[in-house]
Amino acid sequence: MALLSLLPPARNPVVFTPSGVDSTVPVAVTWDTGTLASGRLTLRIDGGAESVCGFGRTGSAVTTVTLNQTQTFTLRSALGQVLATLVVTTALESAPVPVTPSERIRMSRVTVHRDSVQLRWRTALSISCWAEVTAPGEQTRFAWTDPGSVHEVRFDRPPADCTVRIATEGAAARYVGTVPAGTDEWVADPAEYRALHLRTRTDATSSGVALAGRVHIDTPAGPVTVRQWPDGSLDAQGNGESTPLGGPFRNGVIACAGAAGPALVATTAGGELVACGVRPGAAADWVPLGQRDPLSVAAVPMPGGAAHVLVAGSDGKLRHRVFDGTPEGAWESLGQGVAAVSAVGHPAHGLVAVAVTEAGEIRHRRRDLAGVWDEWVCLGSVSEAVCVAYWEDTDTLALTAVDPDDAVQVLAWPGYPAPAGRGTWTPAGTLTSVEAVTTPRSDTERRNCGAR
């Protein structure tokens, strides 16, 4: 009887380790026709054309296999009769293990291009990770990273709707989002999106948008895209022109919608807070704002193209001023002991500032349309939290606080600013894969993160 088998110690399916998903594995097969007559061994890869890889009554052959590949070996007699067939498949090693909150994957950036998708995420442990992309009628695609705590991959996107999962070595893959075919949109896991009351976009007309790589802003002159490159430099694209904006700048650049184009607030590599109005095709005119090494910055657009700028300084003081494109403007002090600030505007309610104090208190203050500030109101405490403010609807202010272990609490304030409508903090699960909050890569960037 004819025999066709893998040489020990090979297994079928051939198992790939997470750190070797991009490698090839040698496969050795042996055969025996079971008669005195010679035979012929052929190989077909993924249903392609057959190729001859051996002759003789007995023998062996060596080939290599990659993850997701199927290799079909066929042993035939001299007359073409099929004597034996061996189908070699592959599998990815996966052994789920308990994962503590501090070891969770934290998505920080998703950039969708026409033919590719780029992901960036963070883990607490220095481990190997990979992205797993599936689509109907397509083979699963993998993009692997070296061991580390910050991971970034880029993979070719299939033509159909694709589902993206992220996995760490020794743990099962977790669904994080989808990319619809024919779009440049990223759709975060909808269950987590709804549970956390977060948005995948922030209306740039009501609050500043953290760049996180790039941001699109609609202006009266047309849409403008502002990008921050890995070296910290900025550029703007609009009206068919690409305009360099200088740099390098630290992470945490904020863009607001302006009357003629976006207004940017940034911190230079040397620590100086600066701002400029962006006009595609025109050179950037950065204006020093007179603050250095801010802990946290927020910006809110104003009618007419100016912007409110709020800064929690390294001295713990919270300051506010208006940027109108010129160096003129004075800072007003709003309080002390502040570690982070978030802000959002409303055409009827004015400017809303939300501060996290060094003691973990979350405080609220409003500046009405006449420029008069209310008194500070304490909304409770969330230890070491990042807090962002946004409008859930036209009259409902919402706050989301995320602590260092990614536990999330949400406060809704219907009928804002009437005190009777203010709610209390409600647990909303754990932040794991919602792209709506930019996960910081440093203490300073963590304080600067905001809803998008």
**235 and 144, same domain (yes or no):** no
pLDDT digits (tens, 9 = 90+) for 209-223: 777 677 778 777 778
Average model confidence (pLDDT) across the chain: 80
> CA 174, CA 176: separation in Å to the nearest integer?
6
At 99 the pLDDT is 44
| pLDDT band with cut points at 50, 70 and 90 for residue 398 | confident
- Copy the structure tokens of residue 47: 């249903």
Residues 6+ apart with CB under 8 A from 256: 204, 207, 208, 209, 217, 262, 263, 264, 265, 299, 300, 301, 307
**299 and 414, same domain (yes or no):** yes
**24 and 121, same domain (yes or no):** no
Note the Cα 230 to chain centre separation in Å: 15
Higher pLDDT residue, 312 or 439? 312
Q: What is the pTM for the complete model shown?
A: 0.55
Segments forming the whole domain that contains residue 158: 101-188
What percentage of residues in the chain have a pLDDT greater than 90?
A: 30
At 249 the pLDDT is 92
At 108 the pLDDT is 66
Rounded to an integer, the average pLDDT of 96-106 is: 49
Rounded to an integer, the average pLDDT of 70-97 is: 84
**368 and 263, same domain (yes or no):** yes
Question: Last residue of some domain: 55, 72, 92?
Answer: 92
**How far is the first Cα of the chain from the last one, in angstroms, to the nearest whole number?**
67
Residue 51 clears pLDDT 90, i.e. is over it: yes
Rounded to an integer, the average pLDDT of 383-399 is: 80
pLDDT digits (tens, 9 = 90+) for 226-253: 888 888 899 988 877 888 999 899 988 8
Token look-up 């090693």 returns 93
At 451 the pLDDT is 28
At 100 the pLDDT is 44
Sign of the dihedral defined by the CA atoms of residues 205, 445, 131, 117, in that order: positive
> CA 317, CA 315: separation in Å to the nearest integer?
6
| pLDDT band with cut points at 50, 70 and 90 for residue 19 | low
Residue 374 clears pLDDT 90, i.e. is over it: yes
At 434 the pLDDT is 37
Higher pLDDT residue, 175 or 253? 253
Question: Last residue of some domain: 188, 204, 235?
Answer: 188
**143 and 259, same domain (yes or no):** no
> CA 31, CA 54: separation in Å to the nearest integer?
10
At 247 the pLDDT is 85
**275 and 373, same domain (yes or no):** yes
Higher pLDDT residue, 419 or 259? 419
Rounded to an integer, the average pLDDT of 109-127 is: 79
CA nearest to 386, candidates 408, 370, 367, 366: 408
Q: What's the CATH number where 284 sits?
A: 2.120.10.70
330 Rama class: left (phi>0) / alpha (psi -120 to 50) / beta: beta
**112 and 213, same domain (yes or no):** no
Give me the numbers of helices (H) and strands (E) for the chain, helices first please: 2, 38
- Total domain count, the chain: 3
Q: Which residues pair with 205 in a beta bridge?
A: none
Rounded to an integer, the average pLDDT of 48-63 is: 91
**155 and 16, same domain (yes or no):** no
- Copy the structure tokens of residue 400: 């989301």
Residue 433 clears pLDDT 50, i.e. is over it: no
At 171 the pLDDT is 58
At 129 the pLDDT is 80
At 142 the pLDDT is 83
Higher pLDDT residue, 103 or 225? 225
Q: What's the CATH number where 125 sits?
A: 2.60.40.10
Residue 20 clears pLDDT 70, i.e. is over it: no
Token look-up 């950039």 returns 111
Rounded to an integer, the average pLDDT of 190-201 is: 40
**389 and 260, same domain (yes or no):** yes
Whether the ω angle into residue 248 lies within 30 degrees of 0, i.e. cis, is: yes
**161 and 213, same domain (yes or no):** no
Higher pLDDT residue, 22 or 231? 231
At 25 the pLDDT is 86
> CA 364, CA 385: separation in Å to the nearest integer?
15
- Copy the structure tokens of residue 220: 């009266």
**349 and 437, same domain (yes or no):** yes
- Classified as helix, coil or strand, 48 is coil
**282 and 424, same domain (yes or no):** yes
At 207 the pLDDT is 74
At 400 the pLDDT is 82
At 447 the pLDDT is 33
Question: Last residue of some domain: 39, 59, 92?
Answer: 92
Rounded to an integer, the average pLDDT of 393-413 is: 79
Count of other CB atoms within 10 angstroms of residue 433: 21
Residue 49 clears pLDDT 50, i.e. is over it: yes
CB contact at 8 A, 259 and 220: yes
Residue 452 clears pLDDT 50, i.e. is over it: no
Rg (CA), the chain: 28
